[in-house]
Chains A and B, each alone.
Chain A
């Protein structure tokens, strides 16, 4: 297949698809900041009180920080934060509002979608939310009726198509 013919699109806010017990929705863009170093200090400065979330943890109401590595996380907020990018004595912060695109997978077969895409069990606990999802590094955490996947924006078209194919079966 010639890549010139690939016209599957990167999903945008509100895009939705449904099939075989699962609904996938593209979340509205919010705000995000990549932080490294003293994560506690960074979170206290950027989103006081927000929890760190790893694989298997449920996304709370309000802001939270998705753990990527022991010294790196993505602070997720409803809207972009006003911040000075760069080094802040003990931590680094970089705007990443559009680095990831969030897809919400819900429904009784959401677990089937997850099992097809990743070997990491979503019901297990891991301090990091970073997993290989359909072969692509993604951040994954639990939602109220399924799970959420944050894919880097350039990979989102592929992941959307992958899940479309999956739930169509």
Chain B
């Protein structure tokens, strides 16, 4: 119990005490506290356990850099995992639970793991858990680690509005540099948006204070805010600008108390980054003990919350910024020793014992700090505050593509001017000290008047501090993930000398602080170990988000039917009224079957369609009109099958290949005029087929000679299929010519009129039976549906869903692209070799069809499978030799029970399948082996007589 609260002071509301608990222990804080300040004031030290060794962990920082104080927080019976104590406001009734601990931080049963630490160095996962199989170890590791627990009852509301917005100048960070920049830009007339993640503007001024232009800094801040408002700008508090994206897009998460959070997508004319810097730790033995804190954080808690970090405090530093910290703490009743590694230092603050040229080498204690060893001398202490310098917060700059340069005087990597579309000012730019930050901010904002003045301050002084391999004892580089200096050395010895490899081998920088505490030390240590400079060693890649952002904020309203929405049929309600069940097929919500039992309904529908007549909604089939004198030439180039030879009024099946010769899509092309075709792409490929055509149109052909109109959504298409389809059309009063095979033979198309409306009828079949595709403008779809339904009621037949259609087409061996083909299937693998053998002109994907790979005789080929019994083969099952070593020869792509053949049917892709007809193969699935016989893909009506039946 070390932290304590002053009787007064801080920006908290002492009239409003708030009760909360930590690991079931009742505590209290005040309105205005964060979880961190309330816990620090309560004297709680052990706040959690580390990821790997289950070492005790305490509060380190003041913001997003906090690696240890992370809790599962329960409010109103719902638990939210992994809330960071430093940025979460305290609310009455919160129940905090430590993470990586069982049952709690004080009594963690896994703490003994630390005793085995010498056997668990970096990378031991990769060396240890392979032997008996990862699956054996994974459950145990997951139980022991992984931060907080997900509460199944926690369903965050999908209520975060997404707002797109623009401003003239976006200023990120409302510390001294940001305020100066925003003020200057606003006074220049710009509409400025000033964004800060804290609840109040001011940044470090809030706890360090300052006099600007002869007055308290608050006056300067008020002046800046007034200027912003006057110029039509806006100030965002409690708003984290978490990502910089392409084309000048920034994402910001705004937290609101009495309304749902808001997520902003901001585009700015100019951007000024004033995100400040983060204090580095120091590296000494047992620097991970609870009670070791950032000096800057200690001042933050003292001034904003009236909390003193300890009673006997050692401040270890090598820079001037720690002196005000020591002075402020000494002004309380705390006993303060300042150990400065430099021999030349400022004078000792009042009440502070200053040790010059003094190096902290060890913290002592088991669960909390009890002493600090400085130059071999032990100093009793309950708290060690450290400052190893400052690391500029350049994340957003780097996310925007900016490069970094090493700045020796700042001992930091700083933004390279001009390498990203933003100006960086203040500590983020390596400019430390109030006068420097104000000057840089003022200049960044285009300030034309005098630079804001501050009281005279001396030069900013610091000495570079680094991890020291010569020190005995474990020095933590990454406290959350338990990466020590020895781990970095081990990585270097094993050849993982790139910082990207170092990160992945040791997990350094992968903790929830995303390397804010660890990365600099890690790369500095690696640089020293490999004899390279820090710039030569480089940094890891910065990626959004800057700090953790709830997925609910990013997703916004897009959940349920708004998440990845499917396309809807015009006749959806009509189908529902006929008992349709719906599923997503290729991005469309379509009837799967008509009836409660989908499997049974599919069987009866498939039977009815073969015996009588079936009707189904084929509206999603693509209708891409290809128009103009160059239309035939474009289709010839983009298709595997020539379409320029297609006669008017006729239809032809074709394939579209990718550049690599792989089948991209199949479909029917209808020719309605010499210069007008309709390409009926498969439902899920309409968009990509149009893009392939459009690219060729614009890049290869004269773009004024051919145009594409994707009017798929304009039409309702209902297909009538089966031996009594003609009868149904007649009963429905369709024009007589439609049912005249001489006028409209199989694979033909006509445009006519029905009931005064345009009607297009194509005789193409996906079932192998006589079929008619009837298309009308969507507004007439319900009428067409009614007429056909009335006819069906008179003569019989059935509406069929996609599940029945899948059975029918599989009986015929008709493929479904993406199901019966995969990423290596070429046309000749399906038996479509004519174009490959005969076409001499150029077409898309042609050259790839003649590579050695494409000519391999053992390529997987489409076949059918026959098997004994009534149980269909499992789709996806591997086909293996029945004799000899077991290896995959291919796999089952489609499998059903055929009600028309009264036996299972299946399609498969098998190595050299066409030469294996009649061969018995094994079908291996989840440890079971069945046998199947290779057969032709077409299992039903192989002569195709039913197309005109």
Contacts and interface: CB of A to CB of B under 8 A. Distances in A.
Interface in B754-803: 758, 777-779
A97 B779 contact: yes
A154 B568 contact: yes
B565 A158 contact: yes
A91 to B, nearest CB: 8
Interface stretch (B11-19, B136-144, B707-715, B933-941): B707-715
B673 A165 contact: no
Interface string A40-83: 00000000000000000000000000000001100000001000
B582 A3 contact: yes
B273 to A, nearest CB: 21
B571 to A, nearest CB: 10
B267 A95 contact: no
Nearest to B623: A94
A154 B627 contact: no
Given A4-B583, A71-B703, A97-B714, A92 B164 contact: no
Interface in B531-568: 557-562, 565-568
Nearest to A123: B166
Interface stretch (B61-69, B155-163, B170-178): B155-163
Interface in B614-670: 620, 625, 627-629, 631
Contacts of B386: none
A135 to B, nearest CB: 8
B523 interface: no
B260 interface: yes
B561 A37 contact: no
Interface in B677-728: 703-704, 707-709, 711, 713-715
Between B560, B573, B581, the greatest number of chain A beta carbons within 10 A of the residue's beta carbon is seen for B560
Tell me what chain A mostly uses at the interface: helix, strand, loop, or mixed: mixed
Given A36-B627, A86-B673, A116-B163, A3 B557 contact: no
A29 B704 contact: no
B711 A115 contact: no
Given A4-B581, A92-B707, A98 B714 contact: yes
B226 interface: no
B846 interface: no
Nearest to B160: A169
Given A3-B589, A10-B572, A97-B714, A86 B676 contact: yes
Contact of B582 (A4, A36, A118): A4
B204 interface: no
Nearest to A118: B164
B200 interface: no
A125 to B, nearest CB: 14
A120 to B, nearest CB: 8
B557 A162 contact: yes
B713 A152 contact: yes
A151 B558 CA distance: 18
B713 A154 contact: yes
B779 A29 contact: yes
Between B158, B557, B675, the greatest number of chain A beta carbons within 10 A of the residue's beta carbon is seen for B557
Contact of A158 (B561, B675, B708): B561
Given A86-B627, A87-B627, A158 B570 contact: no
Contacts of B583: 3-4
A161 interface: yes
Nearest to B569: A154
A1 B561 contact: yes
B572 A9 contact: yes
Contact of B758 (A36, A95, A156): A95
Interface in A115-169: 115-116, 118-119, 121, 135-136, 152-158, 161-162, 165-166, 169
Interface string B566-596: 1111101100100001111000110000000
B164 A95 contact: no
Contacts of A98: 570, 713-715, 777-779
A3 B162 CA distance: 24
Contact of B162 (A37, A116, A155, A158): A116
Interface residues of B, number: 56
B208 interface: no
A34 interface: yes
Contacts of B715: 98
Given A10-B568, A94-B625, A99-B714, A115 B163 contact: yes
B672 interface: yes
B265 interface: yes
A7 B584 CA distance: 13
B917 interface: no
A76 to B, nearest CB: 14
Interface in B817-873: none
B673 A87 contact: yes
Contacts of A162: 557, 562
A157 B163 contact: no
A6 B573 contact: no
A34 B676 contact: no
Between A4, A94, A112, the greatest number of chain B beta carbons within 10 A of the residue's beta carbon is seen for A94
Between B583, B627, B703, the greatest number of chain A beta carbons within 10 A of the residue's beta carbon is seen for B627
A161 to B, nearest CB: 6
B901 interface: no
Contacts of B631: 87
B707 A72 contact: yes
A112 to B, nearest CB: 8
B676 A87 contact: yes
A94 B568 contact: no
A17 interface: no
Contact of A119 (B265, B676, B703, B708): B265
A153 B570 contact: yes
Contact of B711 (A6, A7, A96): A96
Contacts of A165: 158, 557, 562
A141 B569 CA distance: 26
A85 interface: yes
B165 interface: yes
B582 A87 contact: no
A116 B260 CA distance: 14
B561 A99 contact: no
Give the 9 A-B residue pairs with the shortest CB-CB distance, closest first: A154-B567, A98-B778, A36-B707, A158-B565, A92-B627, A99-B714, A119-B164, A87-B675, A86-B676
Interface of B: 158-159, 161-166, 249, 260, 265, 267, 557-562, 565-570, 572-573, 576, 581-584, 588-589, 620, 625, 627-629, 631, 672-673, 675-676, 703-704, 707-709, 711, 713-715, 758, 777-779
Given A85-B676, A97-B777, A135-B558, 11 more contacts: A3-B584, A4-B583, A6-B582, A36-B709, A80-B777, A87-B627, A87-B676, A112-B163, A152-B713, A161-B562, A169-B260
12 contacts: A1-B561, A8-B561, A34-B711, A36-B627, A85-B676, A86-B672, A92-B625, A92-B627, A121-B166, A154-B713, A166-B161, A169-B159
